[in-house]
Amino acid sequence: MELHILEHSLKVASIAKEGIQICTHGLIKLAFLPSKTRCKFFSLTETPEDYTIIVDEDGFKELPESEYLSVADATWLALNVVSGGGSATSSQPIGVTKIAKSVIAPLADHNISVFMLSTYQTDFILVRERDLPMVMHTLSSEFTLLRVVNGEAVAANSTGVTNGFVKPKLVPRPIIHPLSSPSNMFCVTSLDPDTLPSVATLLMDVMFYSGGAKEAAGQSEDSGHIRFFSFSLIEGYISLVMDEQTTRRFPNNVLFTSASGELWKMVRIGGQPLGFDECGIVAQISEPLATADIPAYYISTFKFDHALVPEENIQSVIGALRTNESTGQ
Protein backbone atom coordinates (compact mmCIF):
# COMPACT_ATOMS: atom_id res chain seq x y z
CA MET A 1 0.00 0.00 0.00
CA GLU A 2 1.13 3.50 -0.72
CA LEU A 3 0.45 6.53 1.40
CA HIS A 4 0.70 9.75 -0.57
CA ILE A 5 1.40 12.93 1.36
CA LEU A 6 -0.19 15.55 -0.86
CA GLU A 7 1.42 18.89 -1.46
CA HIS A 8 -1.53 21.06 -0.48
CA SER A 9 -1.17 23.14 2.69
CA LEU A 10 -4.70 23.25 3.96
CA LYS A 11 -6.64 25.60 6.20
CA VAL A 12 -9.80 24.57 7.99
CA ALA A 13 -12.24 27.41 8.54
CA SER A 14 -15.75 27.95 9.67
CA ILE A 15 -18.13 30.58 8.38
CA ALA A 16 -21.11 31.43 10.52
CA LYS A 17 -24.45 31.04 8.77
CA GLU A 18 -25.34 34.69 9.13
CA GLY A 19 -22.00 35.77 7.62
CA ILE A 20 -22.15 33.64 4.50
CA GLN A 21 -23.06 36.50 2.17
CA ILE A 22 -19.70 38.16 2.81
CA CYS A 23 -17.92 35.12 1.53
CA THR A 24 -20.13 34.06 -1.37
CA HIS A 25 -18.04 35.84 -4.00
CA GLY A 26 -14.91 33.94 -3.02
CA LEU A 27 -16.75 30.66 -2.54
CA ILE A 28 -18.43 30.82 -5.95
CA LYS A 29 -15.07 31.52 -7.54
CA LEU A 30 -13.51 28.56 -5.75
CA ALA A 31 -16.36 26.19 -6.52
CA PHE A 32 -17.34 27.07 -10.06
CA LEU A 33 -14.50 28.98 -11.67
CA PRO A 34 -11.47 26.78 -10.96
CA SER A 35 -9.57 28.30 -13.87
CA LYS A 36 -9.71 31.73 -12.20
CA THR A 37 -7.84 30.64 -9.09
CA ARG A 38 -4.83 28.51 -8.42
CA CYS A 39 -6.77 26.58 -5.81
CA LYS A 40 -6.52 22.80 -6.15
CA PHE A 41 -8.28 21.69 -2.99
CA PHE A 42 -11.63 23.11 -1.96
CA SER A 43 -14.35 21.64 0.17
CA LEU A 44 -17.48 23.26 1.54
CA THR A 45 -19.74 21.48 3.98
CA GLU A 46 -22.93 22.95 5.28
CA THR A 47 -24.26 21.75 8.62
CA PRO A 48 -27.08 23.25 10.65
CA GLU A 49 -24.47 25.13 12.70
CA ASP A 50 -22.12 26.63 10.12
CA TYR A 51 -20.24 26.24 6.86
CA THR A 52 -16.95 24.39 7.11
CA ILE A 53 -14.38 25.29 4.48
CA ILE A 54 -11.26 23.24 3.78
CA VAL A 55 -9.11 25.02 1.30
CA ASP A 56 -5.46 25.24 0.29
CA GLU A 57 -3.38 28.38 0.74
CA ASP A 58 -4.03 29.68 -2.75
CA GLY A 59 -7.73 29.32 -2.28
CA PHE A 60 -7.66 30.80 1.21
CA LYS A 61 -6.61 34.13 -0.27
CA GLU A 62 -10.02 34.36 -1.95
CA LEU A 63 -11.81 34.53 1.40
CA PRO A 64 -12.20 37.92 3.08
CA GLU A 65 -11.18 38.58 6.65
CA SER A 66 -14.29 38.78 8.71
CA GLU A 67 -15.57 38.32 12.21
CA TYR A 68 -17.78 35.53 10.88
CA LEU A 69 -14.79 33.58 9.67
CA SER A 70 -12.96 31.54 12.25
CA VAL A 71 -9.91 29.58 11.24
CA ALA A 72 -8.29 26.65 12.98
CA ASP A 73 -4.79 27.84 13.70
CA ALA A 74 -2.93 24.83 12.35
CA THR A 75 -1.89 24.11 8.78
CA TRP A 76 -3.07 20.70 7.65
CA LEU A 77 -1.69 18.18 5.22
CA ALA A 78 -3.81 15.66 3.37
CA LEU A 79 -2.87 12.00 3.28
CA ASN A 80 -4.29 9.69 0.68
CA VAL A 81 -4.07 5.93 0.64
CA VAL A 82 -3.53 4.35 -2.76
CA SER A 83 -3.75 0.64 -3.17
CA GLY A 84 -0.44 0.20 -4.89
CA GLY A 85 -1.36 -3.15 -6.39
CA GLY A 86 -4.47 -4.52 -7.97
CA SER A 87 -4.52 -7.03 -5.18
CA ALA A 88 -7.65 -5.92 -3.36
CA THR A 89 -9.98 -8.71 -2.54
CA SER A 90 -13.32 -8.93 -4.22
CA SER A 91 -15.24 -8.03 -1.07
CA GLN A 92 -14.54 -4.34 -0.95
CA PRO A 93 -14.45 -2.63 2.39
CA ILE A 94 -15.39 0.86 1.37
CA GLY A 95 -13.77 4.08 2.36
CA VAL A 96 -12.90 4.79 5.93
CA THR A 97 -13.48 1.19 6.85
CA LYS A 98 -10.65 0.12 4.65
CA ILE A 99 -8.13 2.41 6.26
CA ALA A 100 -9.49 2.33 9.78
CA LYS A 101 -7.17 -0.32 11.03
CA SER A 102 -4.11 0.62 9.03
CA VAL A 103 -4.10 4.41 9.34
CA ILE A 104 -6.64 5.79 11.74
CA ALA A 105 -6.10 3.44 14.63
CA PRO A 106 -2.30 3.74 14.66
CA LEU A 107 -2.55 7.52 14.52
CA ALA A 108 -5.01 7.51 17.39
CA ASP A 109 -2.67 5.27 19.33
CA HIS A 110 0.05 7.88 18.90
CA ASN A 111 -2.21 10.70 20.00
CA ILE A 112 -2.31 12.32 16.61
CA SER A 113 -5.45 14.25 15.92
CA VAL A 114 -6.94 13.67 12.47
CA PHE A 115 -9.59 15.40 10.41
CA MET A 116 -11.39 13.20 7.88
CA LEU A 117 -12.80 14.15 4.52
CA SER A 118 -14.37 11.40 2.45
CA THR A 119 -15.29 12.17 -1.14
CA TYR A 120 -16.88 10.23 -3.98
CA GLN A 121 -13.45 9.44 -5.31
CA THR A 122 -11.34 8.80 -2.22
CA ASP A 123 -10.69 9.51 1.46
CA PHE A 124 -8.42 12.26 2.69
CA ILE A 125 -6.92 12.06 6.14
CA LEU A 126 -5.87 15.52 7.28
CA VAL A 127 -3.13 15.81 9.85
CA ARG A 128 -1.42 18.87 11.25
CA GLU A 129 1.78 19.78 9.46
CA ARG A 130 3.69 19.78 12.73
CA ASP A 131 2.60 16.20 13.40
CA LEU A 132 4.01 14.97 10.08
CA PRO A 133 7.28 13.45 11.38
CA MET A 134 5.27 11.52 13.93
CA VAL A 135 2.76 10.45 11.30
CA MET A 136 5.48 9.22 9.00
CA HIS A 137 7.14 7.39 11.83
CA THR A 138 3.89 5.75 12.79
CA LEU A 139 2.87 4.69 9.31
CA SER A 140 6.19 3.87 7.70
CA SER A 141 5.98 0.25 8.77
CA GLU A 142 2.69 -0.31 7.02
CA PHE A 143 2.98 1.91 3.96
CA THR A 144 5.31 3.03 1.24
CA LEU A 145 5.40 6.74 1.98
CA LEU A 146 5.42 8.99 -1.05
CA ARG A 147 5.45 12.72 -0.99
CA VAL A 148 3.87 14.54 -3.90
CA VAL A 149 6.08 17.30 -5.23
CA ASN A 150 4.96 19.24 -8.29
CA GLY A 151 2.48 16.53 -9.13
CA GLU A 152 5.03 13.74 -9.03
CA ALA A 153 5.25 11.28 -6.20
CA VAL A 154 8.72 10.94 -4.74
CA ALA A 155 9.79 8.65 -1.96
CA ALA A 156 9.61 10.31 1.43
CA ASN A 157 11.83 8.86 4.10
CA SER A 158 11.10 9.57 7.68
CA THR A 159 14.54 10.75 8.64
CA GLY A 160 15.07 12.53 11.91
CA VAL A 161 12.65 10.27 13.62
CA THR A 162 14.32 8.75 16.60
CA ASN A 163 13.33 7.89 20.07
CA GLY A 164 11.50 10.23 22.33
CA PHE A 165 8.06 9.55 21.02
CA VAL A 166 5.38 8.46 23.33
CA LYS A 167 4.81 4.77 23.37
CA PRO A 168 1.46 3.89 21.92
CA LYS A 169 -1.14 3.05 24.45
CA LEU A 170 -3.00 0.05 23.25
CA VAL A 171 -6.21 0.45 25.16
CA PRO A 172 -9.76 -0.14 23.99
CA ARG A 173 -11.40 2.97 22.67
CA PRO A 174 -14.76 3.64 24.14
CA ILE A 175 -17.07 6.02 22.36
CA ILE A 176 -17.09 9.20 24.38
CA HIS A 177 -19.30 11.55 22.45
CA PRO A 178 -23.05 11.29 22.06
CA LEU A 179 -24.35 10.04 18.75
CA SER A 180 -27.47 10.96 16.85
CA SER A 181 -28.92 9.67 13.60
CA PRO A 182 -31.06 12.04 11.53
CA SER A 183 -33.88 10.54 9.57
CA ASN A 184 -33.09 11.76 6.09
CA MET A 185 -31.09 9.71 3.63
CA PHE A 186 -28.12 10.89 1.67
CA CYS A 187 -26.54 10.42 -1.69
CA VAL A 188 -22.83 10.50 -2.28
CA THR A 189 -22.37 11.44 -5.89
CA SER A 190 -20.33 13.33 -8.42
CA LEU A 191 -20.72 14.96 -11.80
CA ASP A 192 -18.74 15.61 -14.92
CA PRO A 193 -16.81 18.90 -14.48
CA ASP A 194 -17.86 19.80 -18.04
CA THR A 195 -21.50 19.84 -16.98
CA LEU A 196 -20.82 21.90 -13.85
CA PRO A 197 -21.74 25.25 -15.50
CA SER A 198 -25.18 23.91 -16.43
CA VAL A 199 -26.07 23.17 -12.80
CA ALA A 200 -24.12 25.99 -11.20
CA THR A 201 -27.15 28.13 -10.35
CA LEU A 202 -28.90 25.16 -8.82
CA LEU A 203 -25.86 24.32 -6.75
CA MET A 204 -25.57 27.92 -5.60
CA ASP A 205 -29.19 27.81 -4.53
CA VAL A 206 -28.59 24.62 -2.58
CA MET A 207 -25.42 25.92 -1.02
CA PHE A 208 -26.38 29.37 0.05
CA TYR A 209 -30.16 29.68 0.16
CA SER A 210 -31.15 26.45 1.83
CA GLY A 211 -31.96 28.13 5.11
CA GLY A 212 -34.40 30.47 3.39
CA ALA A 213 -38.03 30.14 2.53
CA LYS A 214 -38.14 26.55 1.45
CA GLU A 215 -37.58 24.83 4.72
CA ALA A 216 -37.33 26.44 8.08
CA ALA A 217 -34.33 25.20 9.99
CA GLY A 218 -36.25 24.53 13.16
CA GLN A 219 -38.89 22.50 11.43
CA SER A 220 -36.40 20.16 9.80
CA GLU A 221 -34.58 19.62 13.04
CA ASP A 222 -37.83 18.75 14.73
CA SER A 223 -38.78 16.07 12.32
CA GLY A 224 -35.37 14.44 12.62
CA HIS A 225 -34.15 15.92 9.35
CA ILE A 226 -30.79 17.51 9.27
CA ARG A 227 -29.55 20.16 6.90
CA PHE A 228 -26.35 18.70 5.46
CA PHE A 229 -24.67 19.41 2.13
CA SER A 230 -21.11 18.94 1.06
CA PHE A 231 -19.39 20.06 -2.12
CA SER A 232 -15.75 19.49 -2.89
CA LEU A 233 -13.58 20.22 -5.88
CA ILE A 234 -10.24 18.53 -5.35
CA GLU A 235 -7.68 18.25 -8.15
CA GLY A 236 -10.42 18.59 -10.72
CA TYR A 237 -12.72 16.01 -9.20
CA ILE A 238 -16.12 17.02 -7.92
CA SER A 239 -17.78 15.23 -5.06
CA LEU A 240 -21.23 15.95 -3.64
CA VAL A 241 -23.05 14.76 -0.54
CA MET A 242 -26.68 15.80 -0.33
CA ASP A 243 -29.92 14.38 0.92
CA GLU A 244 -32.20 12.45 -1.32
CA GLN A 245 -34.70 15.29 -1.67
CA THR A 246 -32.07 17.63 -2.99
CA THR A 247 -30.94 15.15 -5.65
CA ARG A 248 -34.41 15.22 -7.16
CA ARG A 249 -33.91 18.87 -8.06
CA PHE A 250 -31.08 17.94 -10.47
CA PRO A 251 -31.78 17.08 -14.10
CA ASN A 252 -31.45 13.48 -15.24
CA ASN A 253 -28.08 12.15 -16.27
CA VAL A 254 -26.12 14.93 -14.58
CA LEU A 255 -25.34 13.26 -11.28
CA PHE A 256 -23.36 10.07 -11.28
CA THR A 257 -25.43 7.38 -9.69
CA SER A 258 -24.12 3.99 -8.85
CA ALA A 259 -25.56 0.96 -10.56
CA SER A 260 -27.03 -0.18 -7.29
CA GLY A 261 -28.41 3.27 -6.45
CA GLU A 262 -27.26 3.03 -2.88
CA LEU A 263 -28.41 5.51 -0.21
CA TRP A 264 -26.72 6.40 3.03
CA LYS A 265 -27.80 7.31 6.53
CA MET A 266 -25.88 9.58 8.84
CA VAL A 267 -24.45 9.16 12.28
CA ARG A 268 -23.62 12.49 13.82
CA ILE A 269 -20.96 12.55 16.48
CA GLY A 270 -20.74 15.10 19.25
CA GLY A 271 -23.02 17.05 21.50
CA GLN A 272 -20.60 19.89 22.14
CA PRO A 273 -18.22 21.18 19.44
CA LEU A 274 -15.44 18.64 19.29
CA GLY A 275 -12.49 20.97 18.77
CA PHE A 276 -9.32 19.98 17.03
CA ASP A 277 -7.11 18.60 19.73
CA GLU A 278 -8.92 15.54 20.85
CA CYS A 279 -7.73 12.47 19.08
CA GLY A 280 -9.25 9.07 18.58
CA ILE A 281 -12.76 10.19 17.67
CA VAL A 282 -12.63 8.84 14.13
CA ALA A 283 -11.03 5.67 15.38
CA GLN A 284 -13.78 5.17 17.96
CA ILE A 285 -16.38 5.11 15.19
CA SER A 286 -14.49 3.49 12.35
CA GLU A 287 -12.98 0.58 14.21
CA PRO A 288 -16.28 -1.07 15.19
CA LEU A 289 -17.55 -0.50 11.64
CA ALA A 290 -14.45 -2.12 10.19
CA THR A 291 -14.85 -5.03 12.51
CA ALA A 292 -18.43 -5.44 11.32
CA ASP A 293 -17.28 -4.90 7.70
CA ILE A 294 -19.66 -2.04 7.10
CA PRO A 295 -18.65 0.52 4.51
CA ALA A 296 -18.72 4.14 5.60
CA TYR A 297 -17.99 7.72 4.63
CA TYR A 298 -16.67 10.10 7.24
CA ILE A 299 -16.78 13.85 7.01
CA SER A 300 -15.35 16.00 9.77
CA THR A 301 -16.55 19.57 10.08
CA PHE A 302 -15.47 22.47 12.22
CA LYS A 303 -17.72 21.48 15.08
CA PHE A 304 -18.94 17.91 14.65
CA ASP A 305 -18.11 14.72 12.82
CA HIS A 306 -20.40 12.88 10.44
CA ALA A 307 -20.28 9.29 9.38
CA LEU A 308 -22.37 7.94 6.51
CA VAL A 309 -23.32 4.29 6.43
CA PRO A 310 -25.51 2.31 4.02
CA GLU A 311 -29.17 2.71 4.93
CA GLU A 312 -29.73 -1.01 5.33
CA ASN A 313 -26.89 -1.19 7.84
CA ILE A 314 -27.95 1.70 10.06
CA GLN A 315 -29.48 -0.47 12.73
CA SER A 316 -26.51 -2.75 13.03
CA VAL A 317 -24.21 0.26 13.05
CA ILE A 318 -26.07 1.85 15.85
CA GLY A 319 -26.10 -1.46 17.61
CA ALA A 320 -22.39 -1.92 17.20
CA LEU A 321 -21.63 1.59 18.37
CA ARG A 322 -23.93 1.29 21.36
CA THR A 323 -22.16 -1.88 22.41
CA ASN A 324 -18.91 -0.08 22.23
CA GLU A 325 -20.34 2.78 24.18
CA SER A 326 -21.51 0.53 26.94
CA THR A 327 -18.22 -1.34 27.20
CA GLY A 328 -16.54 1.99 27.55
CA GLN A 329 -18.69 3.05 30.44
Partner 1 sequence: MSSGYKPDILWSPHHADRYVICDTELSLYRIGPSGSSETKAGALQLSEETAATLLAINSDTPFMKCVAWYPKHEPECLLAVGHTNGRVVLTSLGQSHNSKSKDLAGKEFVPKHARQCNTLAWNPVDSNWLAAGLDKHRADFSVLIWDISSKFSPEAVPAEKVRLSGDADSGLLVTKPLYELGQNDACLSLCWLPRDHQKLLLAGMHRNLAIFDLRNTSQKTFVNTKAIQGVTVDPHFQDRVASYFEGQVAIWDLRKFEKPVFTLNEQPKPLTKVAWCPTRMGLLATLTRDSNIIRLYDMQHTPMPFGDEVEPTIMERGVQPCSESIISSFAWHPSAQNRMVVVSPSRVMNDFTLFERISLAWSSTTSLMWACGRHLYECAEDSGQAAEAEKDIATKMRERAQSRYGHDTVQVWRNHVLAGGDDPQLRSLWYTLHFMKQYTENVEQKQQSNKQSLIYSGIKNIVKSSSGTTETRRCWSGSDRQTDVPRFHSEERSLALQLCGWISQGPDTDVEPFLKSLEQEGEWERAAAVALFNLDIRRAIQILNKGASSEKGDLNLNVVAMALSGYTDEKNSLWREMCSSLRLQLKKPYLCIMFAFLTSEPGAYDGVLYESRVAVRDRVAFACMFLNDAQLPRYIDKLTNEMKEAGNLEGILLTGLTKDGVDLMESYVDRTGDVQTASFCMLKGSPGEVLKDPRVQCWIENYRNLLDAWRFWHKRAEFDIHRSKLDPSSKPLAQVFVSCNFCGKSISYSCSAMPHQGRGFSQYGVSGSPTKSKVTSCPGCRKPLPRCALCLMNMGTPVSSCPGTGKADEKADLTRDKKLAQFNNWFTWCHNCRHGGHAGHMLSWFRDHSECPVSACTCKCMQLDTTGNLVPSDSV
- Give the interface with partner 1 as residue ranges (CB under 8 A): 4, 81-88, 92, 94-95, 118-123, 146, 148, 150-154, 189-190, 192, 194-195, 237, 253, 256-262, 295
Run of H or E including 290:
helix 281-291
Report the chain's terminal Cα–Cα distance, integer Å.
36
Q: Which is nearer to partner 1, 165 or 237 (CB)?
A: 237
Q: Which is nearer to partner 1, 166 or 259 (CB)?
A: 259
Please give the Cα distance from 13 to 10 (Å, whole number): 10
Beta strands in 85-149 (DSSP E): 114-118, 123-128, 144-149
Q: Which is nearer to partner 1, 234 or 320 (CB)?
A: 234
Run of H or E including 308:
strand 305-310
Q: Which is nearer to partner 1, 94 or 292 (CB)?
A: 94
Please state the closest distance from residue 121 (CB atom) to partner 1, in A: 5
Beta strands in 119-245 (DSSP E): 123-128, 144-149, 152-155, 179-180, 185-189, 229-234, 237-243
DSSP state of 130: G
Q: Which is nearer to partner 1, 99 or 269 (CB)?
A: 99
Question: Taking a C-beta distance cutoff of 8 angstroms, is the pair 121, 190 a contact?
Answer: yes
Integer-rounded Cα radius of gyration of the chain: 19
Please give the Cα distance from 133 to 135 (Å, whole number): 5
Please state the closest distance from residue 81 (CB atom) to partner 1, in A: 7
Please state the closest distance from residue 177 (CB atom) to partner 1, in A: 25
- Strands 76-82 and 305-310, by their bridges, are unpaired
Q: Which is nearer to partner 1, 151 or 218 (CB)?
A: 151
Q: Which is nearer to partner 1, 150 or 163 (CB)?
A: 150
Of 40, 325, 33, nearest to 180 by C-alpha is: 325
Please give the Cα distance from 151 to 64 (Å, whole number): 29
Please state the closest distance from residue 235 (CB atom) to partner 1, in A: 9
The count of residues in the chain is 329
